[in-house]
Amino acid sequence: MTLYEEIGDNNRATVAMFILYAILYGAVIFAFLAVIGISPSFPLFTVSTVATLLVFYLIVFPNAPQAILSMTGARELRKKDDPYLFNIVGALAIGAGIPMPRIYIIESDALNAFATGPDPKRSLVVITTGLRGRLNRLELEGVMAHEMSHIKNYDIRSMLVATMFALAIALVADIGIRSVFYRRRDDRGGGSAIIMLLAVVGLILAPMISALIRLAISRNREYAADASGAMLTRYPAGLASALQKIQKEYAKGNNEIEGVNDATRHLFIFDPAKKSLLGLLSTHPPIEDRIARLKKM
């Protein structure tokens, strides 16, 4: 498979998963309205939910990068602090056709990096001191190209939308399930009871399905960033070698980064949390698979 085919397949898969997310969200709204006894044609709740999502997107998202930096203790670098790293990032930014992102560093022996920001003009890349000190130039270029691809492809925004869907579905489902206990006792006709049961089961399962979709989108965007990064450097072996070094350090248990939680671990090039026994519950694809794909490019 060529790089273009790899990127195209990943992008199509992401679109398909977001369509599935939208269908699931609509089903949850329908089930919620059925549970609280309001006609599904009633638009008030849908309008208010969309408004809530827009407020979250417009207010919370622009401030999220600073919150993440505060949690991880990252500090901003100036060009005089590390001209070597700035030259690499600057060249890759030109190649990717995006503005030069700000560069931050985390004091940690773990080998990791991530990118964040609401759009390319307000983007930033973060790298640990462990990764900065352990990689050679080709490996460092591979990692930074991966992060530049996340910025160029608006992956951060995609994951925000996925997270908003997940939060909205979880919130609506929770309210819907709780409202069952407040239904009138006399509203228990046979047909109504069956619809109620199906709606409640749907509301219970929806957050679980939503979480699986969000994780699948995260894994898919990692594959896409690997392929786009390899296209940017024209040297997939650089990123593959970097991932191998990261894998070796992870095997030693050297992966802890202060301030990382379930809401932020999908940002990193390698999941700093403990490996999940089930691939479906992982934010990242198996690193062995990522390395194998890069070696075939």
CB 40 within 8 A of CB 30: yes
Question: What whole-number percentage of the chain has pLDDT above 90?
Answer: 34
Q: Which residue has the higher pLDDT, 171 or 293?
A: 293
Residue-level pLDDT at 134: 94
Rounded mean pLDDT of the chain? Answer: 83
Alpha-carbon torsion (43, 58, 64, 269), positive or negative: positive
Nearest partner of 178 among 48, 35, 44, 42, judged by Cα? 35
Span 188-205, mean pLDDT? 76
**So where are the chain's domains?**
3-296
Confidence category of residue 239, pLDDT binned at 50, 70, 90: very high
Q: In angstroms, rounded to a whole number, what is the distance separating the alpha carbons of residues 222 and 241?
A: 16
Q: Which of 139, 141, 147, 249 is catalytic?
A: 147
Q: For position 92, what pLDDT does the model report?
A: 97
pLDDT tens string 200-235: 888 899 989 988 888 888 898 999 999 999 999 999
**83 or 258: which carries more pLDDT confidence?**
83
Mean pLDDT of 41-63: 67
Q: What is the pTM of this model?
A: 0.82
Model pLDDT for residues 69-123, shown as the tens digit of each residue: 888 889 999 999 999 999 999 999 999 999 999 999 999 999 999 998 878 998 9
Q: What are phi and psi of 278, to 5 degrees?
A: -110, 125
Count the helices and strands in the chain (H runs, E runs).
10, 4
Q: Is 73 left (phi over 0), alpha (psi -120 to 50) or beta?
A: left
Q: What is the pLDDT of residue 62?
A: 72
Least confident of 125-129, 216-220, 248-252: 248-252
Find the mean pLDDT for residues 170-181. Answer: 82
Flag whether pLDDT at 165 surpasses 60. yes
CA pseudo-torsion sign 239, 242, 244, 246 = negative
pLDDT value at residue 114: 93
Q: Which of 37-41, 104-108, 293-297 has the lowest mean pLDDT?
A: 37-41
Integer angstrom CA distances of residue 27 from 129, 197, 209: 46, 15, 12
pLDDT for 23 equals: 87
Q: Confidence class of residue 49 from pLDDT cuts 50, 70 and 90?
A: low
pLDDT band at residue 15 under the 50/70/90 scheme? confident
Beta carbons within 8 Å of 200's beta carbon, 6+ residues apart: 31, 35, 176, 177, 180
147 included as an active-site residue: yes
Predicted local confidence at residue 118, as pLDDT:
78
CB atoms within 10 A of CB 275: 12
14: number of Cβ within 10 Å: 20
Identify whether the C-beta of residue 64 lies closer than 8 Å to the C-beta of residue 117: no
Highest-scoring range by mean pLDDT, 142-146, 160-164, 203-207, 210-214: 142-146
Q: Are 246 and 149 in contact (CB under 8 A)?
A: no
Give the list of residues 6+ apart from residue 135 with CB closer than 8 angstroms, or none.
111, 143, 242, 245
| Cα-to-chain-centroid distance, residue 68 | 14
